[in-house]
Amino acid sequence: MQPSDTIQETLNTPVTGRYDVIVVGGGASGTVAAIAAARTGARTLLVERGGCLGGAATANLVAQWVAFFHGETRVVGGIPFELAERVQAAGGSDGFHRYVMGEAAGTPFPLRVLPFNPETVKWVLDGSVNEAGVEVLLHTTFARALVRDGAMAGVTVETVQGRLALLAPVVVDASGDALVCASAGVPFQDDGGERQPCTLSFRLSNVDVARFRAVPSDQRRALVLGGLRRGELFWESLSFVSTPGGTDAICLMSRIQDIDALDARDASRAEREGRRQIASIVGFLRREIPGFENAILADVAERVGVRETRRIRGRHTLSEEDIMQARSFEDSIALGAGPMDRHQPGGTGIRLYAPPQPFEIPLRALLPVDVEGLLVCGRTLSATREAMAGARHMATSMAMGQAVGTLGAIAAAGGRRPANVPASEVQQRLAQAHALFRREQVAPQGQPA
Ligand SMILES: Cc1cc2nc3c(=O)[nH]c(=O)nc-3n(C[C@H](O)[C@H](O)[C@H](O)COP(=O)(O)OP(=O)(O)OC[C@H]3O[C@@H](n4cnc5c(N)ncnc54)[C@H](O)[C@@H]3O)c2cc1C
């Protein structure tokens, strides 16, 4: 939405809180960042625009955590793994499953995932932030970064009470869209090309999941290609996550192209186009797919799922070569597992391939250039487009969150700038918290994981 003119506004915004660390965005990475910061002793505020925590996992109905495992080797520990265990203990998941990503696509990819009921994740996260002592503001939208002399001083937010100012020397941008970074003037990656398409997910109940799983994969692919030819489907996918109980299927089958999710009109068009596609997909499933004959549309995600917007320019830019050549970093703070996962912009395919080993993510990729006291985690890390496609999964995003939350708290406690805290201090804390961040922790040197 391009401006036709500008107006001047003068605001007197009340300061209503002072913290050590403010986390903007209560999604995968931000919720874990806030828990880590609070457990490390910081007075922590978590700000989320929606009515629940979890981000893509809950608001977008992306109901499976990917990238805890590289092959059969677990590469994410610490708080994310603890949350995975809590979701299972609360009855929201029946554990890690083998799953084929891109099922019915040209490059199906088998991996281990944790499928869950998003409703259980919501209350598990509520309980975990509460226990850690994090203050949470839901229905609170980030408005503007407060920057003084090149360093973060806090944020302003819009709430039901109006606009408020909240102060902190450390702010974690976990908004998925690098909104705080944009407002603070951080530069972004500018490597051209098209962003990945968006997906509006939906949930069907009264599905005979076992009957569907019994359909041979070549038959599924033939059915999908038929649906695509007739314009009833939108990409090569019969992608379902089944929640415990085997009666529901959460479907990631819409594909909304040519959307700039940072443009207000485009973001609005994406929701309406997503619903149009869902109406067509549900008709196709009921008519064509064994097990879906009596399916009932139970839910549509409250927001369209956005795979890609901004990636910051940080002190290191993670590249595809870093990942595929298994480069080691002195300041590694998280391990990614992949897969490298690129939904074809403008097309109906998906490109999935595996990093040869778990890959290391350096702390420098989470430190924006120029602005002090600002940290990022999740899908906006400093990475090339290809590298981000392998690092954006939720388990990896949560691991990044634990690292920056820990760093933010250490920095605030010592009155230091995060960039001046040696990575070894963060690594020491992460190790105490059972986080995994070096390849040697999961695979002896020289051996593939
Ligand atoms: C359709 C789709 C399918 C995917 N499939 C999988 C999968 O199967 N498994 C997997 O592990 N990953 C999957 N991913 C990737 C993964 O979900 C994301 O990359 C991951 O969630 C990124 O974590 P994040 O913390 O950066 O962002 P998010 O989890 O999106 O969290 C960002 C949070 O910031 C909040 N926010 C945004 N703006 C503001 C604001 N102005 N003020 C306050 N809060 C704000 C949002 O409401 C949200 O809660 C998928 C993604 C999509 C879109």
- Cα separation of 282 and 202, whole Å? 9
Q: Which two tokens stand for residue 186?
A: 């951080």
What confidence score (pLDDT) does residue 192 get?
78
Confidence band for 104, pLDDT divided at 50, 70 and 90: confident
Residue 96 predicted with pLDDT over 60: yes
State the chain's mean pLDDT as an integer: 94
| 249-288 b/e (C-beta count within 10 Å ≥ 16 → b) | bbbbbbbbbebebbeeebbeebbebbeebbebbbebbeeb
Nearest to 84 by CA among 92, 381, 241: 92
62 alpha carbon – ligand 1 mean position (Å): 9
Residue 322 predicted with pLDDT over 60: yes
Q: What is the pLDDT of residues 409-449, one digit of tens each?
A: 999 999 999 999 999 999 999 999 999 999 999 975 445 44
**Which of 121, 164, 175 for mutating ligand 1's site (highest number of atoms within 8 Å of CB)?**
175
- Nearest atom in ligand 1 to the alpha carbon of residue 55 is 49
Q: What is the pLDDT of residues 342-391, one digit of tens each?
A: 887 878 888 888 999 999 999 999 999 989 999 999 999 999 999 999 99
Spell out the long-range contacts of 369-372 with Cβ–Cβ below 8 A and sequence spacing 24 or more: 369/186, 369/187, 369/313, 369/314, 369/315, 370/150, 370/185, 370/186, 370/187, 371/147, 371/150, 371/151, 371/152, 371/181, 371/184, 371/185, 371/186, 372/150, 372/151, 372/152, 372/417, 372/418, 372/419
349 alpha carbon – ligand 1 mean position (Å): 22
**Which of 23, 46, 62, 311 for mutating ligand 1's site (highest number of atoms within 8 Å of CB)?**
62
445 alpha carbon, distance to own chain's centre: 30
234 alpha carbon – ligand 1 mean position (Å): 22
Give the strand pairing for 162-167 and 359-362: unpaired
Let me know if domain 15-97+113-193+308-441 sits in CATH 3.50.50.60: yes
- Nearest atom in ligand 1 to the alpha carbon of residue 252 is 1
The residue among 303 and 244 whose pLDDT is bigger is 303
What confidence score (pLDDT) does residue 444 get?
56
As a whole-number percent, the residues of the chain with pLDDT over 90 amount to 85
What confidence score (pLDDT) does residue 447 get?
52
Q: What is the pLDDT of residues 47-80, one digit of tens each?
A: 999 999 999 999 999 999 999 999 999 999 999 9
- Nearest atom in ligand 1 to the alpha carbon of residue 141 is 42
Q: What is the pLDDT of residues 182-234, one digit of tens each?
A: 999 999 998 877 888 999 999 999 999 999 989 998 898 899 999 999 999 99
- Nearest atom in ligand 1 to the alpha carbon of residue 395 is 11
What confidence score (pLDDT) does residue 234 get?
95
Domain ranges across the chain: 15-97+113-193+308-441, 202-300
Closest Cα to atom 2, ligand 1: which residue?
305
**Which of 81, 160, 341, 394 for mutating ligand 1's site (highest number of atoms within 8 Å of CB)?**
394
| Average pLDDT of the segment spanning 152-157 | 98
Instruction: Indicate whether this model's pTM tops 0.95.
Output: yes
Handedness of CA 410, 413, 416, 417 (dihedral sign): positive
28 alpha carbon – ligand 1 mean position (Å): 6
Write out residues with Cβ below 6 Å of ligand 1: 24-30, 47-50, 55-56, 59-60, 62, 64-67, 141-142, 174-177, 179, 199, 252, 305-307, 378-379, 392-394, 397
